[in-house]
Amino acid sequence: MGNILIQNQSNMFESFSIVFTIAALFSYINYKWLKLPTTIGLMILSLFLIIPLTLSETIFPEFYKFFCDIIVKADFKTLLLDGILSFLLFAGALHVNLAALKEQRKSILLFATLGVLISTFLVGGLVFFGAQLIDVELPFLHALLFGALISPTDPIAVMAILKKANIAESLGIKIEGESLFNDGIGVVVFSGILLIATATEHHSAAQIGAEIGLLFLEEAVGGILYGLLIGFLGLKCINSLKENPQLAVIITLAVVMGGTSGAFLLNVSAPLAMVVAGLLIGNRIHINEDKNPIQKAINSFWEILDEVFNGILFVLMGLAIHLLEFNSNYFLLGVMAILIVLFARFCSVFLPYSLLKHYEKKPIKTIAILTWGGLRGGISIALALSLGDELSKDLILHITYIVVLFSIIVQGLSIGVFAKVIYKND
């Protein structure tokens, strides 16, 4: 048993090391020649790498199998949801201005809650009918699962690409703030629909409703309160370290690693906890000022870690595509899903936004940017991978990948230009 565990750990380390090396090489190529936003550059290069890999299957089958094993053993779902997601969310939240976030709190709250629900049911319903049109079997609850996993905008993709997009600060805060919080809400909605989809006939509607309500309290509310607690404890420790910036960095690392492990034990949302802890620590130590040794050390460390994990994530996302078997009907439904997701995104922004007071002369322009800037990424793929085969996993994974690729490459590359076109007459 011990030898098997050691072997599994060795295989995962080997896979992680190779993916990390590829990410470093692709980052260098992108920096020197492509000059694209890092996440997009890594994704595109990974997709190009798939071509020689696929060709090698007949010529060098052992090499092909070795590379496939690397992707499988890296365990994308576990690596993202149970590992690097917490680091990336904490790193992103550290630099978000809490005062600016408070100014946009109503819109962010509505987008992250009501918006996710609207999008989930719109996407689910329309994809279900789309599947019927092309004779693809997709039960309604399975379509709703797809709606739930694709509706949250991905904070990792959004924050990485927004750094390069020249948009107004208040608009950037709306997109960034929504993406930080709605993934936790999206996971809760996804888990609730999953409970319904997997419930047996012995479960009554009241029992399922009670379980979903308890899930929301534990995951969402519990995650926010837990994040405040670990953020406060970490902050107290950091504030007592006037002359030891290295130890302050270690404390932030302990907040994320120990905090994530504690969240799993307590059954609260680790992503929400990391966002809250990062916001609290980053704003209380004024990390964006980057003046004293502690600010500089924490800033530098988390910027590097953010780059490392982003690189690994987007390379894995690109490389894992070659494990899918092409299906023309699935591809067609995926293309339909792109249009459906964009339409649902518009509705899920327009309806909540219409409930708010806003001061723009033409709020439709803000809605247009929020629609096009709502990127999907690794979280959607990880949730699709978590499904069982009995829940249409293969189909959902195919259409999820198609939507995510379009989102990151097409929307991500064009968001800056799109914003300029929208606001050119202002």
What span, in angstroms and rounded, lies between the C-alpha atoms of 81 and 35? 29
Q: How many helices (H) and strands (E) does the chain have?
A: 21, 0
What span, in angstroms and rounded, lies between the C-alpha atoms of 106 and 352? 10
pLDDT value of position 26: 96
Angstrom CA distances, 408 to 113, 180, 257, 299, stand at 23, 17, 28, 26
Angstrom CA distances, 372 to 122, 249, 344, 364, stand at 17, 36, 11, 12
pLDDT value of position 424: 73
The residue among 42, 38, 43, 306 whose CA lies nearest residue 164 is 38
Q: What is the DSSP letter of 152?
A: S
pLDDT value of position 329: 95
What span, in angstroms and rounded, lies between the C-alpha atoms of 96 and 282? 8
What span, in angstroms and rounded, lies between the C-alpha atoms of 21 and 314? 13
Low-confidence ranges of the chain (pLDDT < 70): 1-11, 159-160, 162-167, 200-205, 358-361, 425-426
pLDDT value of position 416: 79
pTM for the model:
0.91
What span, in angstroms and rounded, lies between the C-alpha atoms of 120 and 145? 8
Q: Cα torsion at 77, 29, 46, 402 (round to 10°)?
A: 90
Confirm if 293 and 245 have CB atoms less than 8 A apart: yes
Query: Tens digits of per-residue pLDDT, 245-294?
Result: 999 999 999 999 999 999 999 999 898 999 999 999 999 999 988 888 99
What span, in angstroms and rounded, lies between the C-alpha atoms of 196 and 243? 54
Query: Tens digits of per-residue pLDDT, 356-399?
Result: 876 666 788 888 988 998 899 888 998 998 898 999 999 999 99
Domains of the chain plus CATH, in order, are 2-74 (no CATH), 79-422 (1.20.1530.20)
Which string of b and e fits 164-176 if b means at least 16 CB within 10 Å? ebebeeebbbbbb
What span, in angstroms and rounded, lies between the C-alpha atoms of 390 and 134? 21
